[in-house]
Amino acid sequence: MPVRRGLLALLAEEPRHGYQLKSEFERRTGRVWPLNVGQVYTTLDRLERDGLVRPVRSTNGDRNQRTFAITQDGRKEVDAWLSASGSQAAPPRDELFVKVLLAAIGDRKAALRLIAAQRSALLSQLQGRRRAQQAASDDLAAELVHDALAVRIEADLRWLDHCEARLRPKR
């Protein structure tokens, strides 16, 4: 529930209203994670239902803004989330993993073909990524996001190499 918690983390900084949350969230995620505003409002409703945020009178004249502030419970949640380990040994519920694994334990030849195809796809993605990265060299958020993606693609490539080596007949 990265959206829900992300919004809560933003509210831990200061009270905000829905539209602000959307803008801020998108700004900080380098504009690669467009958020439908509607989702923000429903998420806010759920957070309020769970007692993690509460509506407050907007300080400067409530035109038609519903401003929300985090509660104590909410702050506890955020702290717990932030100090929790990244994915805490959570297995990779990931498309690439499922694809390769299901094939690998089934038909080895098909698996090797699949791995080759995925590798070339990832390589071309990586190149496109590098170009986009240079273009956005003035935006810290975008830069970090692009780098995260690049690093992850490289990891996937390494994993594919390992799988291939492990599946090769000669052994």
Residues that bind its own copies (CB under 8 A): 2, 5-6, 9-10, 13, 25, 27-30, 32-33, 81-89, 91-107, 114, 117-118, 121-122, 124-125, 128-129, 140-141, 143-145, 147-149, 151-156, 158-159, 162-163, 166
For its own copies, the closer of residues 54 and 167 by Cβ is 167
- The one of its own copies, DNA, none whose footprint includes residue 77, by CB under 5 to 8 A per kind, is none
Please tell me whether residue 16 adopts helix, strand or coil conformation.
strand
Does residue 93 touch DNA according to CB under 7 A? yes
Q: Which residues in 61-85 are b (16+ Cβ under 10 Å) and which e?
A: eeeeeebbebbeebeebbeebeeee
Does residue 71 touch DNA according to CB under 7 A? no
- The one of DNA, its own copies, none whose footprint includes residue 169, by CB under 5 to 8 A per kind, is none
Q: How far apart are CA 73 and CA 14, in angstroms?
A: 15
The answer to whether the CB of 81 falls within 8 A of the CB of 5 is yes
Does residue 38 touch DNA according to CB under 7 A? yes
Residues in the chain: 171
- The one of DNA, its own copies, none whose footprint includes residue 85, by CB under 5 to 8 A per kind, is its own copies
**Which of 4, 27, 24 has its CA nearest to residue 81?**
4
